[in-house]
Amino acid sequence: MIAKRKKGIAILADMPRHAVGRLATGRGGGQAATWLSQTAECYAGKIDFDVSWLTLDPEVNRVEMDEALGQRFYRIPRGKMTWDIAFRHWFAKRKLLGVIRELQPDLVHLWGTESSYPSVLEAVNLPSILSMQGVLTELRRLRVLPDCWRMRRQSSYEPTWLGMASIITTESKWAMERVKRIVPTAEVRIVEYGVNPTFFDVPWQPAFDDPYFVFCGAVCWGKGIDVLAAAMEIEPAPKWRCCVAGDGHLRSALQSRGIPGLEFSGLLTWSELQCLLSRAWALVHPTRADSSPNAVKEARAIGLPVITTVHGGQAEYIHHEVNGLIADPLTPANLREALDRIASDFHFARQLGENRLQEDRAHLSPERTATEFISIYDDVLG
């Protein structure tokens, strides 16, 4: 009797092989799309498909492949991103297609319109899933993206790719609505990309005698770091401090202002960040646009309350005066009021952190992410 061939799925994403097997160390450890390694781990033993991960990697000179977790991981040479963007990702697409033709998958799952991966949609006639990491068209409209020719060119490709995908996934209704503005007829499903399991094991023990907040993310205008800095400059000087875990083009300018209580730690590994979060009173995330920010998810997995805005998917589960505070409209005065309110009441901070904690942890579970993607694979491939 001939064994039935498993249907094949080629997942094209920036997922470094060294991050698989509980070895991921976070953004400070060189991983950008931090949710991918845990998704691969959750697939192990649960997925009845032949799964291959294809990653463009500037550190290899030829295609390399190894196996783990019952899946294959391909590392494909990556050239200069500048050249790929200039020439509609022709170079990267050619390399990816070479491996795809060898694998002959039944479905391609592509991650991120910020990358080269969706370009293969222009050359393959297969069912496809395009998972959004950010909606470039919207970020450019809001002037969140750097105003350079590379970002303008890359974002110009996004509407075409969205129109070619069989199914699009987003992390939130906020992102789904913005995708629908670009392609009203698109089939869009919401799949929250979960938190690394190590965050669920971190006990939240805020220091009663050391009220401090954490800002985690890119130090840029889009994340609202300028509003946070202005809020901390309002007189009188705060009796609390804020640790900035991240890096970006505004860091040097903000540091030069010598704002009392504003401290910069740079990019941190997960273990370093978890140590910082475990003693903080709250996370502050004054974003101007976010599909569903990792920093907020990680904070809620530990149990911190979150001070944020209505501008993103995080507002779908961070509720004002329940598990956090919403600064709306986003102004320095409103943000300072929220910060002072939590810093002045330890019991209030603890209560906000404990509210909805189990619901938020369930919502942000990596197993849930894997299960929902497997369900989509089943729907598409039968």
SS3 (DSSP) at 221: helix
Taking the C-alpha atoms of residue 122 and residue 27, their distance in angstroms, rounded to an integer, is 31
Collapsing DSSP states into helix, strand and coil, what is residue 240?
A: coil
Contact between residue 210 and residue 279 where contact means Cβ atoms under 8 Å apart: yes
Helix (H) or strand (E) holding 81: helix 81-86
Sign of CA dihedral 58, 63, 64, 66: positive
pTM score, whole prediction: 0.95
What pLDDT score does 3 carry? 58
Up-side HSE of residue 358: CA atoms within 13 Å toward CB? Answer: 0
Sheet containing 262-264, strands listed edge to edge, beginning at the edge strand earlier in sequence? 262-264, 241-245, 212-216, 282-285, 306-308, 324-326
pLDDT in tens, the chain (382 residues): 555 678 999 999 998 777 887 778 888 877 878 899 999 999 998 889 999 999 999 999 999 999 999 999 999 999 999 999 999 999 999 999 999 999 999 999 999 999 999 999 999 999 999 999 999 999 999 999 888 999 999 999 999 999 999 999 999 999 999 999 999 999 999 999 999 999 999 999 999 999 999 999 999 999 999 999 999 999 999 999 999 999 999 999 999 999 999 999 999 999 999 999 999 999 999 999 999 999 999 999 999 999 999 999 999 999 999 999 999 999 999 999 999 999 999 999 999 999 999 999 999 999 999 999 999 999 999 8
Element (H or E) spanning 51, and its range?
A: strand 50-57
pLDDT of amino acid 106: 97
What's the pLDDT at 7? 94
Q: What proportions of the chain, in percent to the nearest 5, are helix, strand and coil?
A: 40, 20, 40
Single out the residue of 298, 335, 341, 301 nearest to residue 321, CA to CA: 341
Q: Which residues make up the CATH 3.40.50.2000 domain(s) of the chain?
A: 8-194+365-381, 197-363
C-alpha distances out from residue 340 to 59, 233, 308, 325, Å? 47, 13, 14, 11
In this prediction, residue 1 carries a pLDDT of 53
Main-chain dihedrals φ then ψ at residue 152, nearest 5 degrees = -65, -45
Measure CA of the first residue to CA of the last residue in the chain; give whole Å.
22
Q: Which two tokens stand for residue 324?
A: 């956090």
Q: b/e map of 103-120 (b: 16 or more CB within 10 Å)?
A: bebbbbbbbbbbbbbbbb
Q: Which residues contact 15 (CB under 8 A, 6 or more apart)?
A: 33, 36, 37, 40, 53, 55, 73
**CA-angle at 92, arms to 60 and 140, nearest 5°:** 115
Q: In CATH, what class is 8-194+365-381?
A: alpha beta
Q: What confidence score (pLDDT) does residue 369 get? A: 96
Provide the CATH topology of domain 197-363: Rossmann fold (3.40.50)
In whole angstroms, what is the distance from residue 265 CA to residue 43 CA?
Answer: 34
Burial (CB count within 10 angstroms: exposed 0-12, middle 13-18, buried 19+), residue 287: buried
What pLDDT, on a 0 to 100 scale, did the predictor assign at position 62?
96
